[in-house]
Amino acid sequence: MLEINNLKVSTNGKLILNGISLSFSDKKVYAIMGPNGSGKTTLAYSIMGHPDYRVEEGKIFLNGEDITQLQPHERAKKGMFLGFQNPVEIQGLPVLSFLKATYTSVKNSNVSTYVFNKLLKSKLEEVGFGSELLNRNVNEGLSGGERKKLEVIQMYVLEPTHVILDEIDSGLDVDSLESVAKAIKSYHTKYSSSLILVTHYARILRYITPDKVIVISGGRAVAEGGPELADKIDREGYGWLQQVEGS
Ligand SMILES: Nc1ncnc2c1ncn2[C@@H]1O[C@H](COP(=O)(O)OP(=O)(O)O)[C@@H](O)[C@H]1O
Ligand SMILES: [Mg+2]
């Protein structure tokens, strides 16, 4: 169970999250939607403990433990994972070395290269993507879609229990969207994690049905509902929010 309680977060001196309270139960799927600039990425970063995002008020609990002050790597060790909206390029760092280093750090496990490569091979079979990305450097020259696939591969390797994926569907063509969505769904089913999908569009939610859709606007959670809310947003956009917020 992941809970955020009255969270107020600022960055560069500007208050972005304005008192958000949400709870994410195990084995459930949540979709977080909202207009551009509404604070979705800030929420994802804050949950993961990004140092540029300052918690002014409120708390974050993981299975009852207050993790508000923990560093991102400490949260990762507790089973949290954030797939970035815009994964950054790390020039000259081979994907294999990167994955092994993060695995070693998050799992506190000093595996040999031989053992790790075997593990990686079985993970790739599970995830259902080809192995081409393993021969590249981290995000260097990768397309938007390939970057997102690499985030999903990382998730499979690290085996987190609480997963947040920030716009994992952006930059994917139709075929990649389907394979990425299937990989995420099957991960969620196997490892029974709580899954938070930050997304602009309902299209990924056609493959992974959310238990709850939460709409964020102006740094607040302003509406929630079932999967039909995502379809309404796809059809109508966010114009109706003004009425909700004004009421
Ligand atoms: N590092 C930052 N410095 C200044 N403003 C930021 C920073 N990060 C986010 N913001 C601002 O916070 C607001 C919310 O941004 P973000 O969380 O990225 O929204 P979303 O992901 O919903 O599009 C925006 O107005 C954005 O410009
Ligand atoms: Mg964002």
**What are the C-alpha distances in Å from 52 to residues 14, 91, 199?**
11, 23, 22
pLDDT digits (tens, 9 = 90+) for 227-245: 999 999 999 999 888 877 6
Ligand in nearest proximity to the CA of 34 = 1
- 3-class SS shares of the chain: helix, strand, coil, % to 5: 40, 25, 35
Using CA atoms, how far apart are residues 167 and 246, in angstroms rounded to an integer?
28
Q: How many CA atoms lie within 13 A of 76 on its CB side?
A: 19
Domain borders along the chain are 2-86+160-246
Distance 15 CA to ligand 1 centre (A): 10
pTM value > 0.85: yes
Residue ranges in the chain assigned as alpha helix (H): 40-48, 72-77, 95-107, 113-127, 144-158, 174-191, 227-236, 241-246
Alpha-carbon gap, residue 232 to 122, rounded angstroms:
40
Ligand 1 nearest-atom number relative to CA 16: 12
Expressed in angstroms, the distance from the first to the final Cα of the chain is 31
Answer yes or no: is pLDDT of 161 > 90. Answer: yes
Please give the pLDDT value at position 101: 94
Rg of the chain in Å (alpha carbons): 18
Query: Taking 60 as the threshold, does the pLDDT of residue 30 lie above it?
Result: yes
How do 212-217 and 54-62 pair as beta strands?
unpaired
Quick one: tokens of 129?
A: 């993507």
Going by alpha carbons, the residue nearest to atom 1 of ligand 1 is 11
**Which residue's CA is the closest to the ligand 1 atom numbered 7?**
11
Run of H or E including 82: strand 80-83
Q: What tokens does 213 get?
A: 């859709």
**Which amino acid appears at position 61 of this protein?**
F
**pLDDT score of 88 more than 60:** yes
Q: Quick check: 247 pLDDT over 50? A: no
Q: Tell me which of 242 and 159 has the higher pLDDT.
A: 159
Residue in 41, 54, 169, 217 to alter for ligand 1 test, most ligand atoms within 8 A of Cβ: 41
98/193: higher pLDDT: 98
Confidence of residue 191 (pLDDT cuts 50, 70, 90): confident
CA 83 to chain centroid: 4
Topology annotation, domain 2-86+160-246: Rossmann fold (3.40.50)
Sign of CA dihedral 228, 147, 108, 135: positive
